[in-house]
Chain A
Amino acid sequence: MEGRLILDVRGVSYRYPSAAADALACVSLNARAGEFHAVLGPNGSGKTTLVRVALGLLSPQAGTSEVLGRPATTWSRRELARVVAVVTQREEGLFPQRVRETVLLGRYPRLSLWGAERAQDRSAVERALGRCDVAGLADRWLWTLSGGEYQRVRVARALAQEPQLLVLDEPTASLDVRHEMELFELARTLVDEHGLAVVMITHHINLAARFADRVLLLSEGRAVGQGAPGEVLTRETVARVFAWPVAIEAFDGRPQVVPLRRRRNA
């Protein structure tokens, strides 16, 4: 049975003002509840732009993006934040914060203008902390956390929004193996046990191939492959898109990319 269609991006193109080429050209992506999508591609291939267009921060010059059947640009930021949560690549910490405080910020789209936090907000925060396995860190300052803990706290803040779709933009950049795996497993659990749709932008082709249901491979703003990891991640395609010779091995029935050495005896 197919889950509810949450994000429906159809043939969007976008060119940044005064840019020479399209950042995105005719890209589609539809994410249903209970699906794990990975978006792959070299730096500058349009992955983050796709998220911006999909969620109405940028208006596409062609194509449409709909969230729950409504054009993304017509949602108010508040309403949209109740349906879609995004863990961005970067964020700033202008003022020091504790873990629970920052997760509580995820409740903003569900709070009234003057109202205080309600019991349901506090319980949503505790639930999110528990799901991301950071409940024990709740009273710590953010700057005392390791990279992996910090990313899980940011996922917890996104979960506090109680979204139906979770977008993760390179959440495992600069994390070690264990923390990478923990993050991918967390995403998979959210999909399987809590019925979320997850769209993850990542450079970890191999982990994406093992965890994701579908992958979208972008190159210079175009979708060069879209579908199950086994269909998309072929030797020719990967080598062409990333401009590097590769071999493809199978592991657990999923393709794994092995970059080849070009100069054996250098």
Chain B
Amino acid sequence: MKWLGLGLVALLSFALAVLLGPAHVPLAQFARSDIVRSLRLPRAILAFLVGGSLALSGASLQALVRNPLADPFLLGLSGGAGLGAVLAIALHLAGPWVLPLAAFGGALFAMALVYRLGLVGGAELDPRVLILAGVAVGAFASAVTTAIVSLSDAAELRNTFLWLWGGLSGASWDTVVVMAVYAPLPVLVLFAAARPLDLLALGEEPARHLGADVVPLKRRVYVAASLLTAAAVAVSGVIGFVGLVVPHAMRTLWGHRHRPLLPASFVGGGALLALSDTVARVAVAPRELPVGIVTALIGVPVFALMLRRWRAA
């Protein structure tokens, strides 16, 4: 029942994302419309993949760092991506893929740095150090970014900032293909970690005695969740809120066991972002709202309703 409901919500938000837009496309010409085929369809698919990736990595990271407030961007990836993008602009690199690649590279660099700091004091990834390292690396990257921005020509850097917070307007079939080829591996790695993540929630020693290989588990989850987030940042900038609230909304329906929670978060995150992006495109057409604002505007009331229902039950 719950899965059917979630599936319907996802289908509906996907359908709306394709049907609605600033331009009116009559239903009769729908199948042949260029706007639908080369703009709305890839953008809807990308929104779904990005939203799903963010929610999935948020849910996994919440278990990994033992903090229900964890969010995919807690671990410094957004700061790294921003620095990468600003550096690319400041160095006058040009080309269609420069910004996403630079942001992706910056996010990967931040991830490697945070990972290395997370190993301080031993060969094991320490979740508490990981959070601190994430916040520190993120702050450092933001400081460097701001320094570069304040020292150089503002006009073109403004574009970077807009791009970084700009959402899904860069969607194309190319980005969809890249994401569709790239995402499945980390997604599967995280789905496969669902049961051991349940054990990890008890603490590391109990998890070991129950049969989980804790050290490789933590590494796999951290790397897979970060890789997903880095890709999401590269194709769509920093979209907040999805990764934090969707997992909790799904917890109110499916409980805290990760086997249903992780796939549900992926589908729920995809649906929320597809819907939010539709609103972002339509609400103030012909202009666009930043999609991160819309995810918060839609997500918070939905979450509040779910929380109330869950409290009452």
Q: Mark A53-86, 1 if CB is under 8 A from B, else 0.
A: 0010100000000000000000011101110111
How far, in angstroms, from A97 to B258 measured CA to CA in the complex? Answer: 12
Q: Are A105 and B198 in contact (CB under 8 A)?
A: yes
How far, in angstroms, from A50 to B201 measured CA to CA in the complex? Answer: 25
Q: A94-B63, A97-B256 are in contact. Are A81 and B210 (CB under 8 A)?
A: yes
B208 at the interface (CB under 8 A from A): yes
Q: Which of A57, A90, A93, A105 contacts B210 (CB 8 A)?
A: A105
Q: Which of A77, A78, A92, A111 contacts B202 (CB 8 A)?
A: A92
B124 at the interface (CB under 8 A from A): no
Q: Are A77 and B211 in contact (CB under 8 A)?
A: yes
Q: Which of A88, A96, A101 contacts B205 (CB 8 A)?
A: A88
- Known contacts A57-B208, A90-B203, A108-B195; 4 additional CB pairs below 8 A are A80-B211, A92-B202, A94-B202, A96-B256
Kindly list chain A residues whose C-beta atoms are within 8 Å of the C-beta of B285: none
Q: Identify which of A84, A94, A111 gathers the most chain B CB atoms within 10 Å of its CB.
A: A94
Binding site for A on B (CB under 8 A): 63, 66, 68, 192, 195-196, 198-199, 201-203, 205-206, 208-214, 251, 255-257
**What are the 6 closest A-B residue pairs judged by CB atoms, nearest first?**
A81-B211, A109-B211, A95-B256, A86-B209, A94-B201, A78-B211
Kindly list chain B residues whose C-beta atoms are within 8 Å of the C-beta of A91: 202-203, 205-206
Q: Which of B66, B68, B199, B203 contacts A105 (CB 8 A)?
A: B199
How far, in angstroms, from A37 to B213 measured CA to CA in the complex? Answer: 28
Q: A101-B255, A113-B192 are in contact. Are A85 and B198 (CB under 8 A)?
A: no
How far, in angstroms, from A39 to B209 measured CA to CA in the complex? Answer: 19
Report the number of A-B residue pairs with Cβ-Cβ less than 8 Å: 70
How far, in angstroms, from A161 to B195 measured CA to CA in the complex? Answer: 15
Kindly list chain B residues whose C-beta atoms are within 8 Å of the C-beta of A77: 208-209, 211-214
Kindly list chain B residues whose C-beta atoms are within 8 Å of the C-beta of A97: 256
A106 at the interface (CB under 8 A from B): yes
Q: A57-B208, A85-B209 are in contact. Are A101 and B196 (CB under 8 A)?
A: no
Q: Are A81 and B257 in contact (CB under 8 A)?
A: no
Q: Are A111 and B66 in contact (CB under 8 A)?
A: no
Q: Are B202 and A106 in contact (CB under 8 A)?
A: no
For the complex formed, measure the closest distance between the CB of A55 and the CB atoms of chain B, giving whole angstroms.
7
How far, in angstroms, from A81 to B203 measured CA to CA in the complex? Answer: 16
A251 at the interface (CB under 8 A from B): no
**Which residue of the partner chain B has the closest CB to A52?**
B205
How far, in angstroms, from A106 to B198 measured CA to CA in the complex? Answer: 11
Q: Identify which of B208, B211, B213 gathers the most chain A CB atoms within 10 Å of its CB.
A: B211
For the complex formed, measure the closest distance between the CB of A104 and the CB atoms of chain B, giving whole angstroms.
9
Binding site for B on A (CB under 8 A): 55, 57, 76-78, 80-82, 84-86, 88, 90-97, 101, 105-106, 108-109, 111, 113-114, 157, 161
Kindly list chain A residues whose C-beta atoms are within 8 Å of the C-beta of B201: 92-95
**Which residue of the partner chain A has the closest CB to B256?**
A95
In the complex, 22 of the A-B residue pairs with CB atoms within 8 angstroms, ordered by the A residue number, are A76-B213, A77-B208, A77-B212, A78-B212, A81-B209, A85-B209, A86-B209, A90-B203, A92-B66, A92-B202, A93-B201, A93-B202, A94-B201, A94-B202, A95-B251, A101-B255, A105-B199, A108-B195, A108-B210, A113-B192, A157-B210, A161-B210
How far, in angstroms, from A78 to B68 measured CA to CA in the complex? Answer: 27
Kindly list chain B residues whose C-beta atoms are within 8 Å of the C-beta of A94: 63, 66, 68, 201-202
How far, in angstroms, from A109 to B206 measured CA to CA in the complex? Answer: 13
Kindly list chain A residues whose C-beta atoms are within 8 Å of the C-beta of B256: 95-97
Kindly list chain A residues whose C-beta atoms are within 8 Å of the C-beta of B63: 94
Kindly list chain B residues whose C-beta atoms are within 8 Å of the C-beta of A106: 210
Kindly list chain B residues whose C-beta atoms are within 8 Å of the C-beta of A161: 210-211
Q: Are A88 and B206 in contact (CB under 8 A)?
A: yes
How far, in angstroms, from A108 to B255 measured CA to CA in the complex? Answer: 18
Q: A90-B203, A92-B201, A94-B66 are in contact. Are A111 and B209 (CB under 8 A)?
A: no
Q: Which of A88, A90, A101 contacts B209 (CB 8 A)?
A: A88
How far, in angstroms, from A208 to B256 measured CA to CA in the complex? Answer: 38
Kindly list chain A residues whose C-beta atoms are within 8 Å of the C-beta of B251: 95
**Which residue of the partner chain A has the closest CB to B202?**
A91
For the complex formed, measure the closest distance between the CB of B201 and the CB atoms of chain A, giving whole angstroms.
4
How far, in angstroms, from A69 to B251 measured CA to CA in the complex? Answer: 44
**Which residue of the partner chain B has the closest CB to A82?**
B211
Q: Are A108 and B211 in contact (CB under 8 A)?
A: yes
How far, in angstroms, from A93 to B256 measured CA to CA in the complex? Answer: 11
Q: Identify which of A93, A97, A105, A157 gathers the most chain B CB atoms within 10 Å of its CB.
A: A105
Kindly list chain A residues whose C-beta atoms are within 8 Å of the C-beta of B210: 81, 105-106, 108-109, 157, 161
How far, in angstroms, from A49 to B199 measured CA to CA in the complex? Answer: 22
